[in-house]
Each structure stands twice: as C-alpha cells, then as structure tokens.
Structure 1
Amino acid sequence: MISPLERQHVGANLCRHLVDAANHIPDSLAVAVQHSRGQALDRLSYEEMDFQTLNAKSDHIAAALIQFGLTPGMKAVLMVTPSIDFFCLTFALFKAGIIPILVDPGMGIKNLKQCFIEAKPDVFIGIPKAHVARRLFGWGKHSVNHLISVGGGRLVNGLTGAVNLEQIVKECDNTAFKLQWLADDAMAAILFTSGSTGTPKGVVYSHKMFEAQISALKHDYAIKSGERDLATFPLFSLFGPALGMASIVPDMDASKPITANPEFIFAAIEKYQCSNMFVNPALIERLGQAGSRTNHQLTSIKRVISAGAPATISSIKRFSAMLNSDVEVLNSYGATESLPLSKIGSQSLFNTTTITDNGGGICVGSAISGVDISIIDIDESPIENWHDTLSLPPYQIGEIVVKGPMVSRAYYQRESATIAAKINDGGFIRHRMGDLGYLDDKGLLWMCGRKAHRVDAITADNRVQRYYSIPSERIFNTLPDIKRSALVGVVIAGKLTPLVCIELNQAAACSKSSLLYAQLRTLAEQHSHTQGIERFLIHPDFPVDIRHNAKIFREKLAVWAQKQIKE
C-alpha cells in the first residue's frame, strides 16, 4: 500500500479509498443491489459484495480491459444501470486511468447524440438496450473503436457487434494489475449536465475534485466508515465505497425517481438498517406521501441529504414525519460543475418560510468548509480575472460565483462556455453558477432563480423593470389553488412583458379562472418585486425535467404563452 508521502510524488486516484477499505475492512459489506420480480415485496432479492471482493474484481476487470486493448487516457461512455457490474466496472475504469463519460439517459435522444459528438468517446460500454440505441441513432459512430456489452449473451452481442465484458474478463490471463496514478488536475471523468436549462455540457472532473467531494462528505456531512447508505443516484452511490460506507441500491429507475416504488425503498432501508439517504426533491415528495398514508417510520436513518433542486417546505415536513425527531434533511446547493457548495438543515430552513413566502428567495444555507461564495453584477460578458471589487454587498441580488477545491476548471470541448463561466483567480478558478441570489448579513445564501429566467420588462415609460423567477413565483404559490407557477417573458406591442403561467392543484376548478386572475393581480400589487405583473395563463401540466420533477422548462412555457397572446 502506498503511503501518503509517496502518493504526493506519484499522483492521485479516487480508487485509493477503495484499496484502503479492502485492506482495513475487507469482509464488510460494500454494495448491495435490490432485485424485484413484479411488485411483490416477498419476491425481493439482494446481490451483495464486500470490499475485498469489489477491490479484487475491479482490479481483474481493469487488467482485462487493458489486455483487451484499452489504454490509459481513452474515453469510455458508460451506459450501465446501477448494479454490481456498474460498481466493479466504474472502479475498474478509474483504476486503469480510462476516463468514464457519464450521461443521463433522461436528457433525450437529441441531447444524447450531441454529447457523443462533443465527447468523441473511444469506447462504448453499455447494457444491450444501450447498444441497440447506439446502432439505431448512430451514437459515437465516428469515434468509437471498442464496443463492450454488459449482460445479454452472445445473441445480443452478435446483433450489436459488441464483445461481452464477461468474455473479456474470462480471457484475461490474471496478470497483476498496477493502479494508475494521475496528476491531481488530470482529467478523471466527464460528467454531462442534465440539459434541463440548456444544451448539456461535459464537465471535466479531476481526481482532485472527487477527493474534495469525499472530504466534504466526511467532514461537513460527518459520514463515517461503517455506515450504510440508501443510494438513489448512481454517481453518489460510488462515493459510498470510497468512504468505507456500504451503498444499498434499491430497484428503481434512477433517471425517473418519481416512478420508484416506495415500499421497495423502505424494505431496503429496513433490511440493511441504512443510516444515510441521498434523495432528490421528487423522491422526497413520493416517499413522504407514501409514508403519510401508512404512518411509516425510518428509525435507522440518521442523516438525509437532498440535492438537485430545492425541495418544497411541505414535502420536507411530510417526509420528516417518518424520521426520528433529531434527524434533519440536509438541503445541499451546487451543480454538476461544483458540488456541494452550501447546506442548510431542515429545522433552520423551516424558520425561513416567512421570508420565502414574501418573495425573499429560497435559503440554501451557508458555505461548507473551503468554499467561498460571492455575488457579482448580472452581466452576460466574460470576466477573465477576478478582483474583490466585483463582489456585491449583502442583500443585493446578482449572479452567484463560487470558489473551492470541488469547482471544475473547464467544460470539455466547449471553449466558449468555459470562457463565459470561469474566472481566473490567481491560479484558482471561480465558477459563475448561472444562478441569481444574494448573501445576507450572516453569510447565508438565498436563491432567486436562474439568470436566464429573469425577465427584464419594458414599462410603459420605457424603463427596465427586472423580475426574478423564484421571488415572484413564490408570492403566487401561496394561494391554495395553485400547484406551481412560472414567470416568463412575452412580447406585446413590441415590448417584453412579464407573464406568469399557472398550474392548478387537481381540486381547483378551471371555471374560477377569472376570479383567480383577479386574486393574482391583487396579490402582485401588494409586493414591490411583483408590481406590474398583470398577465396570467393557466397551463394544464407544466413541462418539467424527469429526474427532479421540479425544474420547470420555462423556455417551453414562454413559447406556449406567446402563442396564446397572439391568438
């Protein structure tokens, strides 16, 4: 085993944590994957692997991939569902210095194709269904030279032209594998953003970034070796073994958490007495509703981490009813480019509701250790170098800018996007989040929505009046008939005008629309940051991202609203 002093000279590799766990707690559970047959709870089964086996098997796969012809520095698209194979394979790629490209299948066919064009992968590793889609849509046809399938047998391999991973491993001569050590800032992975607020971009991850995330989970979230995590997000589940924590993977579609079976998740938690959960807002809502119907209790859970989008206060309160009184939901703020950045416990969050309901934004807490958060003027122009005079004072809304060891340095093959989002700060990089917000006098960060979602309206006397999505929408969301609202801009008589799209609760009757519109206009005039909003439209079902069921596609709503105005 390499000592920390030696490691400073040879480089970095995320898998060193797995090697350490295999040496110190070899027989402890590393991964358990739930399998269901139908919807019956009594037909659930679990596939398990300890740290020693996970380390040895990923070593063997890494050696086999190298013998098969893959070399360090190659890029490999990985489209494998959460499984034992997923864990072994991903760690094998990291160990071999092969760069995994992780994409979210939920981003859509068009966006997926663009990801392949930009990333230019050398290798495609996927389940049979992914290989069929690859051939059908031509993914990576100009760059991929190695095709590897995971599962499916010879018939599928013949149809897709891929070689089965099991066959590759079987033919390996078991040559001893040597872990690849890389420079701290060398590219370790490419993670594509979801594309929910624009075209997906490939974020270049280094082992240094992964190390910073592991450190944050250890120190700021107090995760300890020996814990068991209910893992509902593939990337986060990989951190479990790196932390000496077992990852318990429920049988669910990770790209569509809203479709998960709550009973399966509850069963996995209880079987393994999970102490940690990582859940997004859609799953918090679904599990909370299921728990409230049956008065279910999650007595083993000591910590809940929520990220991806802001969860509603009501859904957090409903979910928290299943937890012990001293357990909080830790709401984390960040993005694929930089995560985590700040956090706030649910009890503190509950105390901010009055400010939020009056248009003060959503509190996302204080910066974690090693992270610096600043607010700068709203401007689309690139900023080459950072200077402290760019920072705005407390309570002034602007763009959120962050610096820390988990902040990415660049997008892959997107120089213009890198220039627009990155600021050099004496060798460090600050990232412009594309989110708007402000810091209060206690250093708490308050979110006010995406920069692209603000509406700079032109008033009757040709002044610019700026509206922010979260503060404006929260005012209208306080009405009981409203499920959610979305601020958009439409052009009327040649001027950009604010309009709020409304989605009603199921119990609300559309026949009351004229009365509701009057209520909304009255409410708008009562708050300074919504004054001037006079137009509202009821939309039957907002378009939202499938992963979080919370990020509203306002661009689509704006197109729809503009068509209604023209009619």
Structure 2
Amino acid sequence: MKTIIALHGNPGSPADWNILRDKIGSQFQFKAVDAYSDGWKQEVTRGSDKKIIVAHSWGSYLILKNLKELKNHIEKVILVAPYVKPERTLSGLATTLLKMPGLGDTLIKSNHKKAKDAFVSDLIHPNTLKDLPYFQTLHNHFQDWTVWQKTVVNKIKMQDNPWREADITDVPLTVLYGELDKISSNEIQTAVLGKYPQAKMKTIPATGHGLLWSHPEKIISEISAEGATVSTSNQKIGYYPGSDERNNVINYMEKHLREFPDRVALRWANRESMAQWDGSPKTPIKHDEISYKNFAARINSFAQGLLDIGIQKGDRVIIFLPMSLDMYTAMFAVQRIGAIAVFLDSWARSHHLGASAECVGPKAMISFQQAFALVDQVPEFKSMPIRVLYGPGDKCTHRFPELLKPTASPIASVESEFTALITFTTGSTGKPKGANRTHRFLSAQHHALSHVIPYTEKDKDMPAFPIFSLNNLASGVTTILPAVDLAAPSERDSAILACQIINEGINCTTLSPSMLVGLARYCKENGIKLDKLRRVVTGGAPISKDDVKNFYEIAPQTDLWILYGSTEAEPMAHIEGRDMLKENPSADPEIIEEGVNVGHISEDIDYKFIRIKDGPVELKGSSWSQIEVPNGEVGEFICTGDHVCRDYYNNTDAFKTTKIMDGQNRVWHRTGDLAYIDSKKDLWIVGRTNNAIERGGKYYFPVRAEVLLKRMPFAYRCAFLGMDDKSLGQATYACVELKADIDKATFDFEAAKKEINRVFAKNKIPVDQIKFVKAVPMDPRHHSKVEYKVLRDQLKDPGAIIA
C-alpha cells in the first residue's frame, strides 16, 4: 500500500485534507500532517517505501525547500494551487513592527478584522460559502485572530528563507492550477515551477485556489496516475554499456532536432555589424541566427566532410577558433564521427602549442592563416598531415567551406569513457595538461550544472565561458555569443555586453569576475539598469562582497550565483550573492573574514580536506585519517564524483601530482585550493597551496589580504605574496597597481602605504613590504587571477617598481 503525505497551506490545518481523504478510499495510506511542525519530515523518511507528496498552497513552498534533502524517499510530488514565490511581501519596516511584543499583536488583530472575510472569499472563489459545508467550517476557523497570527509568523519565515534555484532537484512533479485562482498568480508561480526538469503543468477550468475542496477527483486522478519515470544512469546519454551510438554526446543535438527544430540555437554579431555599431548600448547590434534544425544540418554536413578527407574515429583534431557558429560546428562534427576535439585557448603561447601537440599527436587542425604560420615554427606540428583553413590564405590542405557536404554522416558508436574533448589547462609556466573529457564525463557535467543553474525554454543566455556554451546547447537553450574578444579585453567590452543584454532580451548570462566588475562599473557610471536579467553566474577567480554589492546596484532583481569550479570539476560549490552578503557582518566594516565563502558543496561530489603536501599523495595501505585535517581546519580541498575529470590525456605525471587513487579505485582530484568548511557546511577558500606564505612558522594566504587591497580607492589591481627572506623564510609583500587616472607625479605614496599598514594591522595580517608596481600580471585566460611567479620575477627588477 502506497503512503500519501499531505501538507496544508498557510493558513491551514491537517483538516483541510478531510474531503480528499474520505474520497480516496482504502487503496492508499493517507497521512495529513501538521506542516507547521518539522515532524512531517519524519513521516516522509519513515520506512523504506517511497511516499507520494501532496501539498496545497504554502505547503508547496515547504516541500520544495526540503525536496533535495528528502528526494530519495519520494516517488512523486503533486502541488495543488501552489504558492511558492511570495506575491505580496511585507516590507522591512512592517516585519520589524510585527515582531515587536504587544504592538505586533495589535497590528495583526487590526488587519485580521479588516481582511479575514475577503480572504476566505478569494480562497474559495468562484464558489460561495453555501456550496460546500467545509467552506463554512473554513470561515468559522478564520474568525480566530490567532490563526492570522500564525499565518503572519510563517509568512515572515518564508520571506526570510525564500525559494531559490539552488533548491531545484529532479523529482517527478505535477502542478495543478485553478483557472480562476485569486490567491496565486499562475504566471508568477509557473516561472518558478517550470524550471523543474520533470514538471508537468495542468490547469483546471472553472475553479480557483480552493480546488483542493471543490475538485478532489482531479487530485485523486494524479495520485493514481502511473508512469512517472525516474531517470536511471543507463538511460542517460553517455551511460550505455559497451560501444553504443547513444553514448555519443551529439545525441543532445539529435534530441533537440526532434523536440524543437525551429528554436533558435545560436545568435551572434559578425565583424561587419560590429564595425557599423556606434558604441552606444542603446543602439542594437545586428545579430545573425541559426535554428537547431539548420545547426544540426550544418554539423552533420561538416562531419561527412571530415570523413571524406580521412578523419577517423579516435583521431585528434585541434580546433583553434574563437567562440563562433563554426567553432561549434567543427567541434560537434568531430565528436559526431567519434574523433576527438582538441581545444587550445586563444591566449596559448608557442611553448604551450608545442607541448600540447606533443601530448595529443594531432592528425588535423582547423584554424586561421595566422595560426598555421605560428605552428609552422613549432617542430611538434611538422608531422600533422591535414590543415583545414578558416578564412583567407593558402597554408592548407583543405578549406572550411569545402567540407560542408550535401549528405549527413552517421553517428559513431563510442564507449562511455571514450574521449570526446581535450581541453588544456596550465598556469603561466609549466607543461600544459590535457583534461580528458569523455562522452560520459561531458554528460555528467551537463547534469551537474543543470542541478545548479537550470534553464527554461524561454531563456536567452550569453555565456563567456566555452564550457557553459556546451551546457547551453546540451540544455537546448538559445545562446547569444558575446561580441567581445575574450583573449584581448578592451575598453569597449562592457558597453558591448550591456548593449547585447539590453537589446537581445538576454535574461541569463555567465561572466568572468573581471567582466562582471567591469560591467557593473560601466552601467553605474552611465545610469544603466539591467532590469531584465533573472540570473547571472560568475566564477573562475575570487570575487568579493564589494563586487557583489556593486552588481546588485545595477541589477537588483537578479540572482547572482558564484560558482566554484575548475577545468577538472565544474561545479564544486555555489552560493547566491545575497547569501554571501549575509555572512557574519562585522561591526567594523574594515575587518573581513578569513577567505571567501563559495557556499554549498555540490551534492554530486564527495569531498575531503588533506594536509598541505608538495608532490604526489599515495594512500597504498594507509588510511585517509593519516592525511586528513580535523573538521573545520584549513586543508587542501579534494573531491571525487561523476563530473570530476579522472585523468589527463597521455600524461601520467600529471595524474600522479593532481590525483589520488583510493582503495575503492575512486579517483580524487586535488584542487590545489586551501579551504575549510564552517558549521553551516559552507566552503571557504583561503588561497592556493602554491601561494600559501610561510612566514616565521605561520601560514598566511593571499585572498583576504587582496580583498583589503582592492578596497583602497587608488588600487586598480593588487597582489599579496611571499618573497624569500633569510630570517622569516618568506616575507609578505603587498603589491598595488594604481588606477589609470591617478597622476603618479603628485600621488602621495607614503600616505597610501600608511593606510595599507593601518588596515592590515587591524586585520592582524603582517605586511613586510609595500610595493607600487607598473603592472600586476594577470592570467591570460580570464584576466582575473594574479600570476604570482611572473610578479616575483618582476619584483627583482627595480624598473618594475614605481614606489
């Protein structure tokens, strides 16, 4: 016998379910619980059977806030006239007054007297009190002002802990709306509930918020309905056993081709459109577009062209193009035929190119004339037989347009762990490591990202990171490519991004921290509000509370998600900006926490914290207890999971230094990040293992110090690092690059140094040297991380220091 757990609304009581309970009969065990008490959760988790959850109005909010925690105990959820997102909120002043003893009760009694009858009328609309005996029972119940009091208390709790996208999880969900509902707005609530992957929306005609009582048979029909399927691993793309066509990630594109062929897949601005643009964010930039149907046809056509010139399953093909229609055409075409796409970042230097080619042994490269001229100087490319030229030039064996054939290629069967994509990751120096992204891994990463940042079919997204573009296209969302050169930031970038967001109807975007900061600054200076954005995602480098506050000033309605991740594992943790700002505010604004809170650790990974150690870590016969740090202490953050990259292509040395194999043959990734977990289970990043400063036998970390330096009104870029010192081991150096508009000839460097010393002393951070430098070198990938080794070398050159 299946068990039904029923949650009432607010106001409400378990008796609200009496009509439904009496009609449902004996085939179910029906439990109407007190939703005001946490005891209802115990009913859900009791026993091994999965429960059916039915929730009315505010009860829908309650179950969705707890769904991630309880989903393993739930078969399906049915929401009746859901009220998940508050539509009539209490102001901060009203909330404060209502919480005051005496005065709060007086205000509630006054409001109750005026509003109770009208509320009941709206609740049961279009019915009247005479239509059902229970309606009169409701009316009598609401005459008690303490019912109103309890309602207000729980409404305030709902406002203080609102539903967020992080609460979304994958459980079968049916939503029943009353067509004439006067309590809940179908449009407002659907905007929330439509984000759930398995949500089904049904509107019941000629009824309202009280359909729980007027139409119980509709609810019983949904309770009794069979066929709500839950995904299992072997039903996902990339998870089939053996060599199977369904493992190939191109099947995401095939799925979209079947379900919504005419939906726009990509929009982009070409070079001619950018040349004609006048630079004003109010002036639209002309964009071209392609539907999923035509995009799929272009991919399939190019894939046949690749087969015709001798590209076979397993061949490595370097794609050295900027984010564009044809970059994605080439990548998906390579994957369709079972070949391996190799991505080199547009900032890659010649020694990176050589090391990358040595690693993968490419059979072909698709790129511009300039790129082929560059690789001609790299010995490792001399044996590469196929060169596909994009654009004008003559250094090629084939030209891109020639490979667009009239026939479509077949989809290659691949094993789930067959390599689909290799992306190289490296710092400013050292041998590049090719992250081995298999077909299963790409599918797992898509699902992990969808848990955190799900899309609706109406979303338009602008991603600045290529990996998020892949997730967009796997999700079937319309993607607008940013019309900026990610490898060479310019002063026009913020204006371009603002223009695209405003004129392209973009409501979601993913930005690097430097782009986020620049966009906020530009919009604030020009009086621009980005009021159509519903979600912004950033990550890839630390971001401060000040940066978050500044962005909310130009887009106060948006959800700003800070994702913590890396090439090898994305995402690992996430936090919404408002939650970051609520974290332990100090009475003194000049004192900040140790590290940056990156929020809730992804439920798709397992994690540990280990002692700081250079070189490989091998468990062998030893246990984790010998290398783990006590809970709450700083250690290197390591993780394992379905979307954590297991190895590097053709690079066993990199595996030894960045991975740990445990006794169950699980591969753990060493992030290189020093972190700790707090009492709320939030993850705090304090620095990198290779940037930790050991001064006088104590460790210090750059993140906190750099946040303080960035607050200085004269600082453009800054860094905090250790330099070799005979007495201390390492001395701490604070380095500052001045803002461009500051006159160095008249600037008071001594006063600035005095201010830095004062603030650092208040935060108990020792600073041995303060240096004003010509430039703080940043990483060429995101322009958001300091290149500490380059800076150390610069500090040895007196010409790099201005004061």
Query: Is the shorter-chain TM-score for this pair beyond 0.5, marking a shared fold?
Result: yes
Task: State the 1:8 CA deviation.
Answer: 2.2
Q: Which residue of 2 aligns with 1:282?
A: 514
Q: Which residue of 1 aligns with 2:268?
A: 33
Task: State the 1:123 CA deviation.
Answer: 0.8
Contact 2:537/2:563 (8 A) holds in 1 = yes
1:523-538 aligned at under 5 Å gives the runs 523-528=759-764, 530-531=765-766, 533-538=767-772
Q: Structure 2: how far apart are the matches of 1:548 and 1:435? A: 18
User: Which letter does structure 1 place at the counterpart of 2:378?
Assistant: G
Among 67, 77, 81, which residue is 2:322 paired with? 81
Q: Structure 2: how far apart are the matches of 1:471 and 1:316? A: 16
Q: Which residue of 1 aligns with 2:311?
A: 70
Change (3 A) 1:210 1:538: same
Among 614, 619, 624, which residue is 1:380 paired with? 614
1:91-110 aligned at under 5 Å gives the runs 91-110=332-351
Contact 1:365/1:446 (8 A) holds in 2 = yes
Task: State the 1:439 CA deviation.
Answer: 0.9
Secondary structure of 1:332's partner?
A: strand
Unaligned runs of 5+ in 2: 1-233
User: Which letter does structure 2 place at the counterpart of 1:117?
Assistant: E
Q: Structure 1: how far apart are the matches of 2:500 and 2:716? A: 32
Change (3 A) 1:384 1:449: same
| Residue deviations 1:423-456 (CA, integer Å, cap 9, x gap) | 1231321100011111112211111111111122
| Residue deviations 1:355-389 (CA, integer Å, cap 9, x gap) | 79534101111112212232111011422349442
User: Which letter does structure 2 place at the counterpart of 1:313?
Assistant: K
| Residue deviations 1:27-68 (CA, integer Å, cap 9, x gap) | 110111112224426683222111111112211111121121
Among 146, 151, 161, which residue is 2:391 paired with? 151
Contact 2:423/2:434 (8 A) holds in 1 = yes
Q: Does 1:512 align with 2:752?
A: no
Q: Does 1:337 align with 2:572?
A: no
Q: Structure 1: how far apart are the matches of 2:711 and 2:520? A: 21
1:150-549 aligned at under 5 Å gives the runs 150-152=390-392, 156=393, 158=394, 160-169=395-404, 172=405, 174=407, 176-196=408-428, 198-257=430-489, 259-325=491-557, 327-352=558-583, 354=585, 357-385=591-619, 387-389=623-625, 390-425=627-662, 426-457=664-695, 459=696, 464-493=697-726, 496-506=729-739, 507=742, 512-528=748-764, 530-531=765-766, 533-549=767-783
Task: State the 1:508 CA deviation.
Answer: 8.1
Moved over 6 A (4+): none
Q: Which residue of 1 aligns with 2:221?
A: none
Task: State the 1:559 CA deviation.
Answer: 2.2
Q: Which residue of 1 aligns with 2:43?
A: none
Task: State the 1:408 CA deviation.
Answer: 0.8
Secondary structure of 2:554's partner?
A: coil
Q: Which residue of 1 aligns with 2:57?
A: none
User: Which letter does structure 2 place at the counterpart of 1:410?
Assistant: D
Paired residue total: 548
User: Which letter does structure 2 place at the counterpart of 1:496?
Assistant: G
Secondary structure of 1:340's partner?
A: coil
Q: Structure 1: how far apart are the matches of 2:454 and 2:403? A: 40
Q: Structure 1: how far apart are the matches of 2:538 and 2:649? A: 27
Structure label with greater radius of gyration: 2
Point out the more displaced range, 255-264 or 415-424.
255-264
| Residue deviations 1:175-209 (CA, integer Å, cap 9, x gap) | x5221232222211110115247543211111122
Secondary structure of 1:254's partner?
A: coil
Secondary structure of 1:106's partner?
A: coil
Task: State the 1:471 CA deviation.
Answer: 2.9
1:17-32 aligned at under 5 Å gives the runs 17-32=252-267
Contact 1:111/1:195 (8 A) holds in 2 = no
Q: Which residue of 2 aligns with 1:125?
A: 366
Change (3 A) 1:260 1:443: farther
Secondary structure of 2:578's partner?
A: helix
Point out the more displaced range, 485-494 or 95-104.
485-494
User: Which letter does structure 2 place at the counterpart of 1:340?
Assistant: P
Contact 2:511/2:536 (8 A) holds in 1 = yes
Contact 2:304/2:403 (8 A) holds in 1 = no
Change (3 A) 1:249 1:295: same
Among 141, 145, 150, which residue is 2:381 paired with? 141
Task: State the 1:21 CA deviation.
Answer: 0.5
Q: Structure 1: how far apart are the matches of 2:457 and 2:267? A: 16
Point out the more displaced range, 265-274 or 384-393.
384-393
Q: Which residue of 1 aligns with 2:196?
A: none
Q: Structure 2: how far apart are the matches of 1:473 and 1:228? A: 35
Q: Structure 2: how far apart are the matches of 1:120 and 1:456? A: 41
Q: Structure 1: how far apart are the matches of 2:236 and 2:795? A: 61
1:5-20 aligned at under 5 Å gives the runs 8-9=240-241, 10=244, 12-20=247-255
| Residue deviations 1:108-135 (CA, integer Å, cap 9, x gap) | 3332332223222111111233223223
User: Which letter does structure 1 place at the counterpart of 2:291?
Assistant: D
Contact 1:305/1:329 (8 A) holds in 2 = yes
Change (3 A) 1:394 1:441: farther
User: Which letter does structure 1 place at the counterpart of 2:653?
Assistant: S
Q: Structure 2: how far apart are the matches of 1:359 and 1:444? A: 13
Task: State the 1:240 CA deviation.
Answer: 1.7
Task: State the 1:26 CA deviation.
Answer: 0.5
Unaligned runs of 5+ in 1: none
Q: Which residue of 2 aligns with 1:558?
A: 792
Contact 2:424/2:433 (8 A) holds in 1 = yes
Contact 1:491/1:562 (8 A) holds in 2 = no
Contact 1:186/1:206 (8 A) holds in 2 = yes
Contact 2:422/2:435 (8 A) holds in 1 = yes
Point out the more displaced range, 83-92 or 251-260.
251-260
Point out the more displaced range, 115-124 or 63-72.
115-124
Q: Structure 2: how far apart are the matches of 1:62 and 1:380? A: 45
Change (3 A) 1:197 1:119: same
User: Which letter does structure 1 place at the counterpart of 2:636?
Assistant: E
Q: Structure 2: how far apart are the matches of 1:227 and 1:15? A: 22
Task: State the 1:478 CA deviation.
Answer: 4.6
Change (3 A) 1:539 1:359: farther
Task: State the 1:483 CA deviation.
Answer: 4.2
Contact 1:192/1:200 (8 A) holds in 2 = yes
Q: Structure 1: how far apart are the matches of 2:491 and 2:467? A: 19
